[in-house]
């Protein structure tokens, strides 16, 4: 190659690496998705602030993802609904902002449905409309010291979610005098021929019913003395699932809570029970297990957590999936209100979790929620990376593969002591560790030495633990690493940890470590994953 060309290439590479390191993006070209810490497998907004996933609905071969978005800053502000669509739950196409704030307030979290039978009358040209149900948050009302500044409203779309018209008679559910009154999730209850809305009301959820999505009537409430109450309840979801094998149907109620999560700050708990069209009642066995857990817990609180990590919040499931009786697809916001607004990313803030499939199965503890990464993610797998584990205590083994975008499936018959797992590191000596601690009988995620920490003292004061919930000696872990995050699904799907981290230089090495001899690896699969952007 000509020397001048070489020089130009060298300068271009130096410039691009500098840009990547500093998170700089050329204003003329927009985001590169190569910025430092930018996830390569997860959804993140092109620029600016994002929080909760909203209005997730499947229609006309598209998975819609709307999200809490503030287009003018990388910190929270007047909320809009940002918008993206996917054909495969893996690759995303960004679309213009769907719903913007107006004189009635900011557009807070909510859901969307396909109104197949045109119950709302919003249909055009015989096509079913999409209807979004969201919370108006009136900042003026809040400032004035009023408590009724949140109410529920609707908007509809006749062009596959591209443009939205707000309903002229909003709000459809006025505030009944409750300060935190938000995040409506609407489902079609086919058994009772009605729409059901579940929303968060401070320390409980409330159910409403409607025939047309416009006129709503209060039904019942749940949760005042149930589950965790270390913070305000937010972003509920309610859905039925058929238990694999038995044909029996259970209802799952998801409730996010902030703060009060198992490892601090924001987290999502779940309840399993029945919904008869009027009330949600806990499944007796699920309730009995909660009581048993409460006795064991020093604080007397029992909650079942969707995720024990610190970075899976406000997650809900997709509406109108073609086959949704045996499972639901879930996505959460991969951050935590404890530090979300100060994480060290320059151009954008935060990402969503990977989509996960939720199922309910009977266990010795009664019915439990099981999760797994959606099958579609397998299409990102590169050729399997072969490793023969020879690590011994004190001698961690380099897997010889980049941990930047990596999937690992590990099954181990455990010894009863010591810990094992994976350690990510870089040349600066920064490390992140994730694995299983047999002494604690718990999975752990340790980001206390993972690089940039000082942006918030709440970010990494301690190691995060998740109790092993699967009986027996087998430990199984399914891990996905993506530049600045890990998602661990363990115990066949019973236990999860999702955490983000920010090494000051990308992690380049991943090593397997173990503290004791006595463990047998029964399965190890390692796949580099192809980025989605």
- Each residue 305-324 as x (binds ligand FRU by CB under 6 A) or -, in order, gives ---------x----------
Nearest alpha-carbon partner for 358 in 185, 200, 203, 242? 242
In order, the DSSP letters of 95-163 are: EEEEE--BTTBEEEEEEEEE-TT-TTS--BTTBPPEEEEEEEE-HHHHHTT-S--EEEEEEEESSTTSS
Binding residue for ligand FRU (CB under 6 A) from 25, 49, 52, 421? 52
Q: In the chain, what's the furthest Cα-to-Cα distance?
A: 77
- Decide if 463 contacts 446 (C-beta within 8 A): yes
Residues 424 to 483: which contact ligand FRU by CB under 6 A?
none
- Shortest distance in whole angstroms from residue 218 CB to ligand FRU: 20
- Shortest distance in whole angstroms from residue 372 CB to ligand FRU: 25
Of 40 and 150, the one with the shorter C-beta distance to ligand FRU is 150
What is the arrangement of strands in the sheet containing 217-222, beginning at the earlier edge strand?
Answer: 181-189, 194-201, 204-210, 217-222
Residues 69 to 88: which contact ligand FRU by CB under 6 A?
79
Residues 164 to 223: which contact ligand FRU by CB under 6 A?
182-183
Of 108 and 459, the one with the shorter C-beta distance to ligand FRU is 108
Which stretches of 3-47 are assigned E, i.e. beta strand?
none
Q: Is the dihedral angle over the CA atoms 25, 82, 161, 358 positive or is it negative?
A: positive
Give Rg (Cα) of the chain: 23
Q: Residue 126: which region, alpha, beta or left (left: phi > 0; alpha: psi -120 to 50)? A: left
DSSP letter at 202 equals: T
Of 105 and 262, the one with the shorter C-beta distance to ligand FRU is 105
CA distance 18 to 37: 13
- Shortest distance in whole angstroms from residue 462 CB to ligand FRU: 23
- Shortest distance in whole angstroms from residue 54 CB to ligand FRU: 8
Binding residue for ligand FRU (CB under 6 A) from 86, 90, 109, 404? 109
Binding residue for ligand FRU (CB under 6 A) from 235, 410, 496, 519? 235
- Decide if 71 contacts 97 (C-beta within 8 A): yes
- Decide if 517 contacts 393 (C-beta within 8 A): yes
Of 199 and 479, the one with the shorter C-beta distance to ligand FRU is 199
Q: Binding to ligand FRU by residue 51, rule CB under 6 A?
A: yes
Q: Binding to ligand FRU by residue 233, rule CB under 6 A?
A: no
Of 444 and 459, the one with the shorter C-beta distance to ligand FRU is 459
Q: Is the dihedral angle over the CA atoms 180, 336, 477, 527 positive or is it negative?
A: positive
Residue 492: active-site member = no
Interacting residues of 186 by C-beta distance below 8 A, sequence separation 6+: 111, 113, 131, 133, 195, 196, 197, 213, 319
Catalytic residue among 26, 52, 237, 307: 52
CA distance 312 to 112: 21
Binding residue for ligand FRU (CB under 6 A) from 35, 115, 138, 234? 234
Binding residue for ligand FRU (CB under 6 A) from 58, 59, 63, 108? 108
Binding-site size, ligand FRU (CB under 6 A):
12
Of 79 and 99, the one with the shorter C-beta distance to ligand FRU is 79
- Shortest distance in whole angstroms from residue 260 CB to ligand FRU: 13
Of 50 and 483, the one with the shorter C-beta distance to ligand FRU is 50
- Each residue 126-165 as x (binds ligand FRU by CB under 6 A) or -, in order, gives ---------x------------------------------
- Shortest distance in whole angstroms from residue 33 CB to ligand FRU: 24
Tokens of 440: 């604690």
DSSP letter at 418 equals: S
Neighbours of 215 (CB within 10 A): 12
Of 138 and 183, the one with the shorter C-beta distance to ligand FRU is 183
Q: Binding to ligand FRU by residue 40, rule CB under 6 A?
A: no
- Shortest distance in whole angstroms from residue 519 CB to ligand FRU: 40
Of 155 and 475, the one with the shorter C-beta distance to ligand FRU is 155
Cis peptide before 296 (omega within 30 of 0): no
CA distance 81 to 201: 21
CA distance 178 to 196: 20
Tokens of 95: 């679309």
- Shortest distance in whole angstroms from residue 239 CB to ligand FRU: 19
- Interaction site with ligand FRU (CB under 6 A): 51-52, 68, 79, 108-109, 135, 182-183, 234-235, 314
So which residues are the catalytic ones? 52
């Amino acid at each position: 190659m000509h020397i001048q060309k070489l020089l130009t290439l060298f300068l271009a590479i130096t410039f691009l690496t500098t840009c990547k390191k500093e998170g700089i993006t050329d204003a003329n070209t927009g985001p590169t998705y190569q910025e430092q810490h930018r996830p390569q497998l997860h959804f993140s907004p092109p620029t600016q602030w994002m929080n909760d996933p909203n209005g997730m609905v499947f229609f006309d071969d598209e998975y819609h993802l709307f999200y809490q978005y503030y287009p003018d800053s990388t910190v929270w502000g007047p909320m809009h609904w940002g918008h993206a669509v996917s054909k495969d739950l893996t690759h995303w196409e960004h679309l213009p902002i769907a719903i913007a704030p107006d004189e009635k307030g900011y557009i807070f979290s909510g859901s969307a449905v396909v109104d197949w039978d045109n119950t709302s009358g919003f249909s055009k040209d015989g096509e079913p409309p999409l209807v979004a149900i969201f919370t108006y948050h009136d900042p003026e009302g809040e400032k004035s010291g009023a408590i009724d500044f949140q109410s529920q409203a609707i908007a509809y779309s006749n062009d596959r979610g591209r443009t939205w018209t707000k309903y002229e008679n909003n709000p459809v559910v006025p505030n009944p005098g409750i300060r935190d009154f938000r995040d409506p999730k609407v489902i079609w209850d086919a058994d009772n021929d009605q729409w059901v809305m579940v929303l968060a009301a401070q320390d409980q959820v409330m159910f409403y019913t409607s025939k047309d999505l416009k006129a709503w009537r209060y039904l019942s409430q749940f949760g005042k003395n149930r589950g965790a109450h270390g913070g305000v309840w937010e972003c509920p979801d309610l859905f039925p699932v058929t238990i694999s094998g038995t044909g029996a149907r259970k209802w799952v109620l998801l409730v996010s809570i902030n703060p009060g999560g198992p490892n601090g700050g924001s987290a999502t708990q779940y309840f399993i029970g029945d919904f008869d069209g009027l009330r949600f009642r806990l499944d007796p066995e699920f309730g009995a297990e909660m009581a048993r857990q409460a006795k064991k817990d020093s604080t007397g609180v029992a909650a079942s957590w969707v995720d024990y990590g610190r970075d899976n919040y406000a997650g809900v499931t997709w509406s109108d999936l073609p086959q949704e009786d045996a499972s639901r697809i879930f996505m959460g916001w991969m951050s935590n209100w404890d530090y979300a607004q100060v994480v060290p990313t320059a151009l954008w803030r935060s990402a969503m979790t990977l989509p996960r499939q939720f199922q309910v199965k009977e266990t010795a503890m009664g019915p439990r929620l099981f999760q797994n990464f959606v099958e579609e993610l397998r299409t990102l797998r590169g050729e399997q990376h072969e490793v023969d584990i020879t690590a011994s205590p004190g001698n961690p083994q380099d897997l010889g593969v980049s941990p930047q975008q990596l999937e690992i499936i590990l099954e181990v018959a455990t010894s009863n002591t010591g810990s094992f797992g994976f350690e990510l590191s870089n040349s600066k000596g920064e490390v992140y560790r994730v694995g299983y601690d047999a002494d604690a009988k718990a999975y752990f995620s340790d980001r206390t030495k993972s690089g940039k920490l000082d942006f918030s003292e709440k970010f990494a004061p301690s190691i995060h633990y998740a109790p092993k919930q699967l009986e027996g000696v087998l430990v199984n872990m399914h891990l996905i690493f993506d530049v600045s995050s890990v998602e661990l699904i363990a115990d066949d799907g019973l236990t999860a940890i999702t955490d983000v981290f920010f090494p000051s230089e990308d992690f380049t090495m991943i090593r397997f470590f173990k503290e004791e001899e006595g463990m047998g690896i029964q399965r190890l699969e390692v796949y580099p994953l192809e980025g989605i952007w």
